[in-house]
A = this chain, B = another copy of it.
Amino acid sequence: MAANSPKLTALAQGWCALSLLYERIQAHLERALLAGHDLSVREFSLLTVLSRQYKGPGGHLQMKQVADAVVLSQSATTRLVTRLEERGFLARCFCPTDRRGIYTNVTEKGASALKAARPTHDAALNETLEEARRDPRLKPLVNALEKLGKATS
């Protein structure tokens, strides 16, 4: 996004660094996942979210909630799910309590695709962060990111 200028506020600088880091990671992951598994980051993210669902009441997400989780519009989510359904990774089913709603399950095929892709994803993430740590503008952010993971996990 670009860097230093005398009048840039401190926050704006931080935002630039965040953007830069985000976009680098995103681009790197996208490349790695597409090349190795024909999955975009969004698709990976969707599979991840949906595979965390559990059977039983409250365990499933409706389209709208999925949209929130992957930060997409409802219509984009519909299409994303459709694409992955056509590839056999997902299956829609009706929501038993509200027939307006639609649930989506990850198929066996989808689950194994996700499982296969995860090491690629994690490795690419590691690489990018390793590299970002060498950039003085990004280092503090990378450190915070790592601490964050440790604190919550």
Contact = CB atoms under 8 A, between A and B. Distances in A.
B140 A141 contact: no
A112 interface: no
Interface residues of A, number: 48
Interface in A49-75: 49, 52, 69-71
Given A45-B1, A52-B5, A137-B152, A146 B10 contact: yes
Given A9-B122, A12-B122, A14-B148, 10 more contacts: A9-B149, A11-B126, A12-B149, A15-B125, A17-B148, A18-B25, A18-B145, A22-B22, A137-B152, A141-B144
19 contacts: A1-B45, A1-B69, A1-B71, A2-B45, A2-B49, A2-B52, A2-B69, A9-B122, A11-B122, A11-B149, A12-B122, A14-B149, A18-B22, A18-B25, A22-B22, A27-B71, A137-B152, A140-B148, A141-B141
